[in-house]
Amino acid sequence: MLESWRWYGDLDDISLPEIRQTGAKGIVTALHEVPYGQVWDRELIAKRRHRIEAADLVWSVCESLPVHEDIKRGSGNLNCLFENYRQSMANLASEGVKIICYNFMPLLDWTRTDLTAPVSSGGTCLRFSAIRMAAFEIHMLGREKAEADYPADVVEKAAQYYVGMTADDQKQLLDAIMSGLPGAFDRYDIQGLKQVLRTYEGIEQDELRTNYARFLKEVIPAAEELGILLCVHPDDPPRDILGLPRIVSNMEDIAWIMNAYDSPSNGLTLCAGSLGANPENDVPAIAAKFAERIHFAHLRNVRKDADGSFEEAAHLEGDTDMVALVSVLIKENARRLKNAKTDFLGIPFRPDHGHELLSDIGRCSIPGYPLIGRMKGLAEIRGVVHAVESLSGNGGSFDLPQGF
């Protein structure tokens, strides 16, 4: 498989030479500076590609070519937005970028309540606290019917937590949640968030699915012609947030998406952390079910609490069996290598997120994307890959998990 690394270009305090030292070969990046809905100019794409290649790396995945909120809401000048999306895909393909990760989450790309939660062995991690999120939705935001989205004991504890919050506590919580807004643009205060949430009023799961199906109908034929593989990222976390519906949260959702437009160009970004935050999701089983449609993988782990909270664990220490998951991906990667008609570099994967460790602390990296923590995760996954490949393909007798 192709070891890759997410890089935010000029917004990133981690340099390409530093990434090169991690051993990763592929770069996962995007033109984060371009406002949503606008065409990605081919010259800008080429400039980014040349910069990556000058560091002896390859632009392996575009993450992400964002879907405008109007497409998700089914409002506004959609024909223009679809045409711009298709043109951006064409410009990426012209520069050799053929895998595009995207998501269909309303408003937020991801949601956490703590960006620097302490880890017992030292360092920090990203965390989602159901109690803090409930305190935010019920008491800070005052969202109608928010109590119904949480267990009664969480609602009670959220009320107690809110009473003890200082103004600084409330600001830190709002800032953490707003960190999940994509790109380098809008960040909302409470009133601004209330206003933008109103634009989704009345949109339930069925309508969001209808809008998603239209998106696929508009862009997948163009992707097929361009040789592009689109791969949707699961919801993070895989549950409704802020009253917004989520439709990429479990095996049933993914099956619906794959069937909504049955094409190899309509694929999946297998994000172990996002899917793993739902206790009902068996991530290796999901990977096995949709193996042929996985075009990109995010490998990270989570440790879940009974109340719906979770934190990002070390890559090999959370609730997801990473060895079983990697075994599924290796098996699919071997199948593709055997059948490849052109140069195939392997299924790209990246160590998704990581703990802030050692010199990461105080460096002010993008939340979830430190240098040392991700390098540690990459090294651990690399070890798993080499062990599984050696035992299963070089004379060993390694047995893959039952059913894979």
Largest CA distance in the chain: 63
Are 207 and 177 members of one domain? Answer: no
User: Is residue 271 flagged as an active site residue?
Assistant: yes
**Residue 342 pLDDT > 90:** no
> Distance (Å, rounded) from C-alpha 11 to C-alpha 365?
9
User: Which is catalytic among the residues 102, 161, 261, 369?
Assistant: 369
Choose one of 198, 228, 261: the last residue of a domain. 198
Question: pLDDT digit string (tens) for 119-147?
Answer: 998 999 999 999 999 999 999 999 999 99
90 in Cβ contact with 42 (< 8 Å): no
Are 162 and 128 members of one domain? Answer: yes
Question: pLDDT digit string (tens) for 174-224?
Answer: 999 999 876 556 678 999 999 999 999 999 999 999 999 999 999 999 999
Q: Kindly report the backbone phi and psi dihedral angles of residue 332, in degrees, each rounded to the nearest multiple of 5, phi listed first.
A: -70, -35
**Residue 7 pLDDT > 50:** yes
> Distance (Å, rounded) from C-alpha 350 to C-alpha 239?
24
Are 166 and 215 members of one domain? Answer: no
402 in Cβ contact with 44 (< 8 Å): no
Are 215 and 314 members of one domain? Answer: yes
Beta-carbon-side half-sphere exposure of residue 206 (alpha carbons within 13 Å)? 1
Are 268 and 342 members of one domain? Answer: yes
Identity of the residue numbered 16? L
User: Is residue 233 flagged as an active site residue?
Assistant: yes
DSSP string, 322-334: HHHHHHHHHHHHH
User: Which is catalytic among the residues 298, 315, 355, 360?
Assistant: 298
User: Which is catalytic among the residues 114, 236, 352, 360?
Assistant: 352
Range of the domain at 132: 114-198
Q: Are strands 26-29 and 58-63 parallel, antiparallel or unpaired?
A: parallel
User: Is residue 353 flagged as an active site residue?
Assistant: yes
Are 10 and 136 members of one domain? Answer: no
Q: Which pair of structure tokens corresponds to residue 257?
A: 């998406």
Q: Are strands 124-128 and 114-118 parallel, antiparallel or unpaired?
A: antiparallel
- Cβ of 364: how many Cβ atoms within 10 Å? 9
DSSP string, 227-249: T-EEEEEPPSSSS-BTTB----S
Choose one of 198, 231, 262: the last residue of a domain. 198
**Residue 397 pLDDT > 60:** no
**Residue 344 pLDDT > 60:** yes
Q: For residue 398, is it within any domain?
A: no
**Residue 394 pLDDT > 50:** no
What's the confidence (pLDDT) of residue 181? 78
Average pLDDT over residues 364-374: 94
Q: For residue 400, is it within any domain?
A: no
Are 262 and 305 members of one domain? Answer: yes
300 in Cβ contact with 314 (< 8 Å): no
Average pLDDT over residues 353-382: 95
Q: For residue 143, is it within any domain?
A: yes
User: Which is catalytic among the residues 68, 315, 353, 355?
Assistant: 353
Are 223 and 328 members of one domain? Answer: yes
Choose one of 198, 219, 243: the last residue of a domain. 198
User: Which is catalytic among the residues 68, 233, 315, 355?
Assistant: 233
Are 193 and 228 members of one domain? Answer: no
Our separate counts of H helices and E strands in the chain read 14, 12
Q: Which helix (H) or strand (E) holds 170?
A: helix 167-178
Q: For residue 402, is it within any domain?
A: no
Question: pLDDT digit string (tens) for 244-278?
Answer: 999 999 999 999 999 999 999 999 999 999 999 99
CATH code at 254?
3.20.20.150
What's the confidence (pLDDT) of residue 45? 98
Q: Which pair of structure tokens corresponds to residue 58?
A: 């390859």
Domain count, the chain: 2
User: Is residue 319 flagged as an active site residue?
Assistant: no
Q: For residue 259, is it within any domain?
A: yes
> SS3 of 49, please?
helix
Q: For residue 255, is it within any domain?
A: yes
Question: pLDDT digit string (tens) for 292-332?
Answer: 999 999 999 999 999 999 999 999 999 999 999 999 999 99
Q: Which candidate, 339, 212, 337, 322, places its Cα nearest to that of 273?
A: 322
Are 169 and 261 members of one domain? Answer: no
Q: Which pair of structure tokens corresponds to residue 127?
A: 């965390």
Sign of CA dihedral 212, 217, 221, 222: negative
User: Which is catalytic among the residues 271, 295, 315, 355?
Assistant: 271
Are 100 and 249 members of one domain? Answer: yes
Question: pLDDT digit string (tens) for 60-101?
Answer: 999 989 999 999 999 999 999 999 999 999 999 999 999 999
pTM: 0.94
What's the confidence (pLDDT) of residue 404? 45
What's the confidence (pLDDT) of residue 2? 97
What's the confidence (pLDDT) of residue 182? 65
Q: Kindly report the backbone phi and psi dihedral angles of residue 179, in degrees, each rounded to the nearest multiple of 5, phi listed first.
A: -65, -20
> Distance (Å, rounded) from C-alpha 180 to C-alpha 112?
7
111 by Cβ neighbours in 10 Å (0-12 / 13-18 / 19+) ranks as: buried
Are 349 and 250 members of one domain? Answer: yes
- Average pLDDT in the chain: 94
Q: For residue 81, is it within any domain?
A: yes
Question: pLDDT digit string (tens) for 44-69?
Answer: 999 999 999 999 999 999 998 999 99
What's the confidence (pLDDT) of residue 90? 98
Q: For residue 403, is it within any domain?
A: no
- What is the spatial order of strands in the sheet that 301-304 belongs to? 114-118, 124-128, 310-313, 301-304
